[in-house]
Chain A
Amino acid sequence: MWQFFHKLGSPKWFYGIATRLMPWLLVFGLLCLGAGLVWGLAFAPKDYLQGNSYRIIFIHVPSAFLAQSVYIMMASAAVVTLVWRMKLADVFVKAVAPVGLVLTFISLFTGAVWGKPTWGTWWIWDARLTSMLILLFLYGGLIALDRAINDEKSAARAVAILVLVGVVNIPIIKYSVDWWNTLHQPATFKLTEKPSMPAEMWVPLLLSVIGLYLVFGWLACLRMQTEILIREQRTRWVQELFHVNGGAR
């Protein structure tokens, strides 16, 4: 068990696994995402109440879902960083924070654009929207904090602590539509209930959520590899990487 844990924390081991995994993640991710979006845009029936503007859901929900998921993953990694000082966990947090920032921005932007024809306004300071905006600032703050501290270990600890402080925002986002009166509609997918929309709508939505997850997996592997190479470029295994592949000579 401990040996496995140690192996999992090894940048060298992860680098190899990521190289093998990445083509699959990218191909299946783009396939699922492409199928879901084409289906949702052109073939799914229009909503009887919202008309065609509801088609924004096929990018809004996946990016909002991922934005929160990525934060939860970062929080789990932050615990590992603080408790076990595992290098790879900190590499993960640093690599995916900008991805989370972009996804949160996309969900806010598409939400605003969707709100205009549906609610008649781009923005209101309601619970769901405000808590998502706070998530955006949290991501931005994490990236800024990491850049502000030069020492790698202090930066890792500080960022991990801020990630954990920000976790309080996640249940607020999730339950904001139940706790407060809001314009925002309730959750699209619930684990315990059947979706409230017909299959021609939720199947493409599920496809794009899965697709975006896989694309995120590809991005995470790629960006973690970059971070690992920067940190470990002086170690022997990185140097040997090029000799074995015949890259250097």
Chain B
Amino acid sequence: MSGRETVLAAIRRGLGRGPLGDAARRALDERQGATDSAPLLPKLPKGPLPQVFRVGLEKVSGTMSEIAGMDEVPGAVAGYLAGHGLAPEAAVAPSLESLDWSGAGVQAAFGPTRGGDYAGVSLAWRGVAENGSLVLLSGPENPTSLNFLPDHHIVVLQGKDLLPHLEPVWAALRERGRDGWPRTVNVITGPSRTADIELTIQLGAHGPRSLHVLLVD
């Protein structure tokens, strides 16, 4: 018997029954999830979504600035780099390649990084107001390495992509069709941190030391 059959047989022995019949399996497949009721979504604080998002993000030491349009992104990145005493260089997601980076004086390298870049710039697929989280999808347009290797991670989030909870994000992914999930969905809530030494919180454990969101109206 293969490992698979051994484990499945042991589970069925534990459950005290044989394999489920076709009808029972179909009924399980048709369910929306484990419970009969719709997911319970926590009530969010009053106020516009960007405000709720900002409170969540700042609670976890993230920062945010609001800009009026996508064409302002390179300028805002240049401002952030200068403000942090960094050279005007960044590894940038190809999804943002069409913006005028040289016009803003930023030397942008488009594509994944192998470390060595101080700043990475990515485009969020969605934002979640509940905890100030960003949802990033992997792909040639948005290499995952940009989210984790640079010291400073700057993420562009468009206001129209800001949702109240994670559940509508899953609904949107489901709309991409069966197997519409990319290799990685990163839900990022603040910069990297650890409390492994004497429970003292320290930012920048292995991932970015700081996380900055550019919310585009």
* Co-complex (A, B): no
Q: Show the binding face of B for A, using Cβ within 8 Å.
A: none
